[in-house]
Amino acid sequence: MLSIASYTLPSWRAGFGLPSFSRNKATAFNEETTMATVNQLVRKPRQAPTYKSQSPALDKCPQRRGVCTRVYTTTPKKPNSALRKVAKVRLTNQEEIISYIGGEGHNLQEHSVVLVRGGRVKDLPGVRYHTVRGALDASGVAKRRQGRSKYGAKRPKA
């Protein structure tokens, strides 16, 4: 079996506008890539991929405190449909971000002080932060039985 990569057309077919295959040329049929030589690496060394933060406003902190400047609802991207609760928050480093308020019901309003953590909401464009429930002015979710630690809910009395 003859492979396409090593096949060269006979000389009598060369002038008929047909593609000629050769071993050392990268063509549409034969995408060969070679390793960089030592001299090429001396001239331009390999670059490690640069890290880009998913939550730049936190300035490498785990959480940040901020004041709500506006609390409102917004609609998600297709194909989802809902009224998602979000807050525009001015952080202590003077950055203004949009933060998602998780859980059913909340007590936040303008001038509420909240704790913000990283974590985007996939169906809300531009929302890359979550408010921490049960911290500062944000109350925990009432009547929460499972997953209470994520929503700042106290253990119910038995």
- Beta carbons within 8 Å of 156's beta carbon, 6+ residues apart: 145
Task: Give the mean pLDDT of the chain.
Answer: 86
- pLDDT one-digit tens code per residue, 11-33: 555 555 555 555 555 555 556 78
Distance CA 135, CA 148 (A): 13
Domain locations in the chain as residue ranges: 1-45, 56-143
- pLDDT one-digit tens code per residue, 136-156: 999 999 999 999 999 999 998
pLDDT along the chain (158 residues), means of 10: 55 54 56 88 96 91 95 94 95 95 92 95 94 92 92 88
Q: Which of 143, 47, 137 is nearest to 103 (CA)?
A: 143
Distance CA 152, CA 101 (A): 12
Q: Could you give phi then psi for residue 41, rounded to 5 degrees?
A: -70, -30
Q: Any idea which fold 56-143 has?
A: OB fold (Dihydrolipoamide Acetyltransferase, E2P) (2.40.50)
Q: Considering Cα of 122, then 103, then 55, then 73, what sign does the dihedral take? A: positive
pLDDT value at residue 29: 58
